[in-house]
Amino acid sequence: MLRLEKRPSPSRLWTGATPLLAVLLTMLAGGAMFALLGSDPVVAIRTIFWDPLFGEFAFYYRGQLLVKAAPLILIAIGLSLGFRAGIWNIGAEGQYIVGAIVGAAVGLAAYPTESRLIFPAMILAGAFAGWLWAMIPAILKTRFNTNEILVSLMLVYVAEAMLASVSSGLLRNPDGMGFPGSRNFKDYPAAHNAFLIEGAGVHWGVVAAMIAVIFAYVLLGRHVLGFHIRLTGEAPRAARFAGVNPSLLVVVCLGISGALAGLAGLFEVSGPAGQISIDFNSGYGFTAIIVAFLGRLHPVGILLAGLLMALTYVGGDAAASALGLPSAAIQLLQGMLLFFLLAVDVLANFRIRFGRTEAA
């Protein structure tokens, strides 16, 4: 009989190998899914995972890779800090939306003024809005012991309702002939998150993502706050004896993740997206959860996982246009990554044993 036997301590080999194995299993299962949809599985997998990096139009796709990866990395870095401490912010999508709304509103309020201070003001507004939105579940958690998972998740739907409202109301383009959506920031240079290196896909959001990775690496490895975060997640009782304030940790972790998600929303709306619209939110806040766990909640791992997930976006768009694959199939492929990671992750803590168990 097949049974699982608890390991004395987690296996380092399996801990490092499971993300790679999860990616391999995702490719195999995705290939089977594409075959059922009537496409050549080898061609589909090659189009998604190989062509954007080494194909004919690789230079263009590599730039898009950075554009797609930046918000995922920014959000996932913030989420990972809370996840390490056992604080579960599932509402980063809402913080991403609110950061985009408030940051865009600051820029649009200054239209058509041309000033170098407008874009920095938008950055501060986006980060503050994301932080403020994350403070709602943080305060409710610390004051009334509510579940931060449910509160943060429900706030996503509130943020989506706000997005629909301002797109057709407060922030609607007065010159847009009644259509929902704000002015396009590409036509407003002072508020536009333009590419710093033309054709390379590098804008201020990419720079912020790299800074966030370095910041998180130093915080977790060199700062007392990072020690408290790791200690609380690994040994909550020891953390209490060490004098860690759990309420303060909830506020700090949720605040950082909310601010980074708000920044991601601001950089996206003022750059690649270009405007506030009803369908602005693209699920980055939820996909970043997969990125955080695929990267093992480690800053460098998140950087690599964000690039991998961005590859599925860019390659998925290429496969959808070249092979006619539905977008839902690409989303399912992304979900498979988390499913297989969680499934294979069992092997880090358990051994597979064959045979009958002996009676005591």
- The pLDDT of residue 113 is above 70: yes
Mean per-residue pLDDT, 251-272: 96
31-40, 55-64, 153-162: least confidently modelled range: 55-64
Mean per-residue pLDDT, 300-325: 92
Beta bridge partners, 351, equal: 5
**Rounded Cα–Cα distance for residues 92 and 283 (Å):** 10
More confident residue, 117 or 14: 117
Rounded percentage of the chain residues whose pLDDT exceeds 90: 69
Ramachandran bin of 356, using left for φ above 0, alpha for ψ from -120 to 50, beta for the remaining angles: beta
pLDDT of residue 242: 84
Mean pLDDT for all residues in the chain: 91
Q: What residues contact residue 56 under an 8 Å CB cut-off, 6+ apart? A: none
pLDDT band at 356 (very low <50, low <70, confident <90, very high): low
92 contacts 79 by C-beta, under 8 angstroms: yes
Quote the tokens at residue 197: 């290196």
70-79, 89-98, 337-346: least confidently modelled range: 337-346
**Rounded Cα–Cα distance for residues 99 and 95 (Å):** 6
**Rounded Cα–Cα distance for residues 277 and 327 (Å):** 20
Q: How far is CA 228 from CA 1, 77, 219, 257, 295, in A?
A: 43, 17, 10, 16, 21
pLDDT of residue 230: 92
The SS3 of residue 68 is helix
**Rounded Cα–Cα distance for residues 320 and 301 (Å):** 28
Quote the tokens at residue 292: 């955080």
Q: Which of 84, 313, 65 is nearest to 209 (CA)?
A: 65
Identify the residue whose tokens are 């002939």: 177
**Rounded Cα–Cα distance for residues 251 and 209 (Å):** 22
pLDDT of residue 3: 81
Interaxial angle between packed helices 246-269 and 204-222, expressed in degrees from 0 to 180 and rounded to the nearest 10: 160
pLDDT band at 237 (very low <50, low <70, confident <90, very high): confident
Q: What residues contact residue 233 under an 8 Å CB cut-off, 6+ apart? A: 83, 84, 85, 86
pLDDT band at 360 (very low <50, low <70, confident <90, very high): very low
Whole-model pTM: value is 0.92
The SS3 of residue 292 is helix
The secondary structure of 77-114 as a DSSP string is HHHHHHHHTT-----HHHHHHHHHHHHHHHHHHTTT--
For CA atoms 8, 341, 53, 203, give the dihedral sign.
Answer: negative
**Rounded Cα–Cα distance for residues 190 and 119 (Å):** 6
Q: Which of 310, 125, 292 is nearest to 206 (CA)?
A: 310
61-75, 149-163, 344-358: least confidently modelled range: 344-358
pLDDT of residue 358: 55
- The pLDDT of residue 146 is above 70: yes
Please give the sequence-ordered ranges of beta strands (E in DSSP) within the chain, or none if there are none: 2-6, 350-354
